[in-house]
Structure 1
Amino acid sequence: MRRPVPRTLRGQLIVLIIAALAVAQAITLWLFIDQRALAVRSALSLEAADRAGNLVRLLSDAPPALAPEILRAANSPLVQFSIADKPAVAQGKQAGHTLIANRIRELLGPGGPRAIRVELHRGEGPMPMMPGASPRMMQMHAAMNAGRMSAVELSLSIALKDGRWLNMTSRFHDPPYQWVWSETATFALTAALLGLVLWLALGRLVRPLERLAATADRIGRGEAAGPIDIRGPEEMQHLAAAFAEMQARLQRFISERTRLLGALGHDLRSPLTALRVRAEMVDDDETRERIIAIIAEMQEMVEATLAFARGMATAERVDSVELSLFLGAIVDEFRDLGGEVALQGKDAKLRLRPNAMRRALRNLIENALRYGQRARITASVDKADAWITIDDDGPGIPDASLERVFDPFVRLEGSRSRETGGTGLGLSIARTIVHAHGGEITLRNRPEGGLQAQIRVPLGAGQVLQGAGVVTP
């Protein structure tokens, strides 16, 4: 299963940047929640300190007999007070909590220094219930302590004037974060605006790449491609300039090689014609016939060389053709000559050089008829390519030589008849033409016997004709 990630550069960059924004927002939210919890914890601690300080003042002014009632009224399920002879907070625990101690001293006023001990720690489990609590208090205590609790626990021990200690234990939970939908809407709006800006801005980077890719595709098909007009960033302009220079060098190289090969084959015609005329003057019949046969073979090689050079040339105009009509016309030519050729498969529109591709297919079909007596042509189409398959029932080719037969002037007499004729340039010409269309040609031996030649040609601007098909028995 493919992950839902955009395949385009623009889409991937936008997703990456928005994902980074989401991570930054999540980290900010986490820090905000932590600081919020710290602020609420400080506020609750100071509120508990105020409560304890006011209780100390009340106990100092009230008769000692009212102390139990005052403590009972001040207690709650999460804040409990008691008076004991010893402090509940051990000596030294108050270090680092001077803010709470100073707050209590301010409430008690200038009545002299008092011993105040403060301890903050994590509290686990339910708080113990003070003895003598009312039924209502016990019910509230049980409800608030239901389940597992984890909170911050504040313990205070304040020395009273009579030598005893007021001990307080208060527990408060970190407040839960309540999700506000306005925050989601704000993030969604920010992400949408950022995505829109990035989409427009990245277009300036992506459009030159798309034009460059389209130009490279046309060059790969052998089509003429004009100068590339890149108006994007400076790096894109450098890339376009380097690509144009590479294109010009390749075209010069191919043109020079093609002209050299064509000129060589053309210049050999005149000497061979002169040799043939001289050979006719030889008196000995056997010698004359052998010389003429050798000259004829050389002339055939020259013609094949010229044909190979024409196959390398790319002067023919690229045209849009329907695959069924194109293949059907070739099949009809061979049938008129008595060849047993069958055609079936899907239809599609292709952009190609009709004469050059027709020549490549003829070479392959001629080989199939010559060595396999019959040829079966199958056309198929996928999203990007058209496939043309030619099967025969011949002896096939040794696996080790399936690639070597595409070399010029290679003939495998061990696997093919010596009565075939030709110079071994047919497959070379076919591959050169297919490569000029941006395609590929491969050979393989069929398991049931015979050879299969398969041509792949990119659809390009062509469009598959839905529902259309061609079957010619």
Structure 2
Amino acid sequence: MRRMDSLFARLFGVFLLAILLAHALAFAWFHFYGHPPPPPPPEHLRALDMPRPPPFAGPLVALIFQILALSVAAWFAARLLSRPIQRLSEAAERLSEDLDSPPLTETGPRETRQAAHAFNLMQTRVRQQVQQRARMLAAVSHDLRTPLARLKLRLEQIPNAMLRARMTQDLDEMIGMLDATLRYLHQQRSSEPLQWLDLQALVESLVEDAQDRGADVSVMGHCAPLQVQPLALRSCLSNLLENALRYAGHAEITLHDDAEVVEVRVCDHGRGIPEEQREAVFEAFFRLEGSRNRNSGGVGLGLTIAREAARRQGGDILLEETPGGGLTAILRLHRR
């Protein structure tokens, strides 16, 4: 009984029925149209009108019947086989965008029900792990900030001014790394629905905010609205802009829009990044020597956060050399 409930049994039944139907059609054709031809009439009757052969005669008709029957059966079998796979693929795509997406319905053949049950179980476990990590982040945030704050107050009691300044700098760096790490982990676990957003207005708003702080930033180009995750995209663009301003002191943003892909180019003319290290800078806490060290204020998470925010909405970030020297960060987003 369990074998008859399987996907294999259903496919086998469909093909068996198709073969039987094709042979039944061939048998029916040969039964009605497959008799041997009658003997030729006498000479004196040849001039008379003779009955015409039936319109559906000939071996080609049986072959056409068989081909049509097998084609229809193959179409239904392929649809039966691909439907659960398509449902599983759509559920996996929904899960990648939202951990709270509805579970799969556990219906259909035995293999389909087993796959849906395993998928729903995986979704439940992933959601539990994310919730557990959120609780751990809250605990780390509380338990580490309190002793660091006490330590910062006690540093004020050190009489040596030079030692106090160095220890305060190290402590501020620890607090900065803690804040950046918690913010990075929080953005990783957050889910945000896609919404229509005026990307050009968002970029111009970020540029105006930077200009109000006295930064040398310019923007050019146009872009039509597209579907994105607004908070993630704002974080991505903000990190790219701050990265250029921190290490080059200026930035030029250019918008390129077409029917399929939108590009946001953040260019600077600073020291740039060697080609062999342009992928390594996307790793968490990776920092280059020279101008891109801890004295510049970064903790090595800006580009990591920016790329992961872009990839969560189907985009990506690439780095290339600016003509004339410098670094260009290219944010690519696909229109849906």
* Same fold at TM > 0.5: yes
Please name the residue that 1:219 is paired with. Answer: 95
CA drift at 1:359: 1.0
Change (3 A) 1:196 1:389: farther
Please name the residue that 1:73 is paired with. Answer: none
Q: Match for 1:436: what amino acid?
A: R
Please name the residue that 2:254 is paired with. Answer: 377
CA drift at 1:453: 2.2
3-state DSSP class of the match of 2:296? Answer: coil
C-alpha distance in 2 between matches for 1:254 and 1:405: 26
Alignment map for 1:334-353 (pairs within 5 Å) = 334-337=210-213, 338-352=215-229
Alignment map for 1:168-207 (pairs within 5 Å) = 199=75, 202-207=78-83
Change (3 A) 1:293 1:313: same
C-alpha distance in 1 between matches for 2:255 and 2:304: 22
Contact 1:394 1:449 in 2 (8 A): yes
Which of 203, 210, 213 is the equivalent residue of 1:327? Answer: 203
CA drift at 1:455: 3.1
Please name the residue that 1:130 is paired with. Answer: none
Which of 389, 392, 397 is the equivalent residue of 2:268? Answer: 392
CA drift at 1:431: 2.6
Contact 2:251 2:266 in 1 (8 A): no
Q: Match for 1:344: what amino acid?
A: G
C-alpha distance in 1 between matches for 2:226 and 2:69: 42
Contact 1:389 1:454 in 2 (8 A): yes
Higher strand share: 1
C-alpha distance in 1 between matches for 2:262 and 2:93: 16
3-state DSSP class of the match of 2:224? Answer: strand
- TM-score (structure 2 length as normaliser): 0.71
Contact 1:441 1:453 in 2 (8 A): yes
Q: Match for 2:304: what amino acid?
A: S
Please name the residue that 2:328 is paired with. Answer: 452
CA drift at 1:429: 1.8
3-state DSSP class of the match of 1:269? Answer: helix
3-state DSSP class of the match of 1:268? Answer: helix
3-state DSSP class of the match of 1:213? Answer: helix
Contact 1:344 1:377 in 2 (8 A): yes
CA drift at 1:364: 0.7
Please name the residue that 1:290 is paired with. Answer: 166
Please name the residue that 1:263 is paired with. Answer: 139
Deviations 1:25-71 (A, max 9, x none): 9xx9xxx9xxx9xx99xx99xxxxxxxxxxxxxxxxxxxxxxxxxxx
- TM-score (structure 1 length as normaliser): 0.52
CA drift at 1:390: 2.8
Alignment map for 1:383-462 (pairs within 5 Å) = 383=260, 386-414=262-290, 416=292, 420-446=296-322, 448-460=324-336
Contact 2:211 2:217 in 1 (8 A): yes
Q: Match for 1:323: what amino acid?
A: L
Contact 2:98 2:191 in 1 (8 A): no
Change (3 A) 1:221 1:395: farther
C-alpha distance in 2 between matches for 1:241 and 1:438: 28
Q: Match for 1:237: what amino acid?
A: R
Cα RMSD after superposing both structures = 4.3
Please name the residue that 1:251 is paired with. Answer: 127
Change (3 A) 1:263 1:407: farther
Q: Match for 1:389: what amino acid?
A: R
C-alpha distance in 2 between matches for 1:361 and 1:182: 73
C-alpha distance in 1 between matches for 2:320 and 2:129: 32
Please name the residue that 1:93 is paired with. Answer: none
C-alpha distance in 2 between matches for 1:326 and 1:197: 54
C-alpha distance in 2 between matches for 1:446 and 1:182: 75
Q: Match for 1:272: what amino acid?
A: L
3-state DSSP class of the match of 1:395? Answer: coil
Deviations 1:281-336 (A, max 9, x none): 22232332222222222221221122112221214454332433443433333343
Change (3 A) 1:450 1:317: same
CA drift at 1:362: 0.4
Deviations 1:262-292 (A, max 9, x none): 5324421111110111111222323322222
Q: Match for 1:378: what amino acid?
A: L
Deviations 1:351-394 (A, max 9, x none): 42x222211210011112333422223344554x5544333322
Q: Match for 2:321: what amino acid?
A: N
CA drift at 1:259: 4.2
CA drift at 1:412: 0.7
Contact 2:286 2:300 in 1 (8 A): yes
Deviations 1:2-46 (A, max 9, x none): xxxxxxxxxxx9xxx9xx99xx99xx9xxx9xxx9xx99xx99xx
C-alpha distance in 1 between matches for 2:94 and 2:190: 12
Q: Match for 1:340: what amino acid?
A: V
Q: Match for 2:91: what amino acid?
A: T
C-alpha distance in 2 between matches for 1:444 and 1:245: 43
Contact 1:380 1:386 in 2 (8 A): yes
Please name the residue that 1:139 is paired with. Answer: none
Contact 1:345 1:379 in 2 (8 A): yes
C-alpha distance in 1 between matches for 2:200 and 2:56: 60
Structure 2: runs of 5 or more not aligned = 1-10, 41-54
Q: Match for 2:170: what amino acid?
A: I
C-alpha distance in 2 between matches for 1:331 and 1:438: 24
Alignment map for 1:111-190 (pairs within 5 Å) = none
Change (3 A) 1:215 1:453: farther
Change (3 A) 1:284 1:406: same
- % same residue: 33
Higher helix share: 2
C-alpha distance in 1 between matches for 2:185 and 2:295: 25
Q: Match for 1:301: what amino acid?
A: M
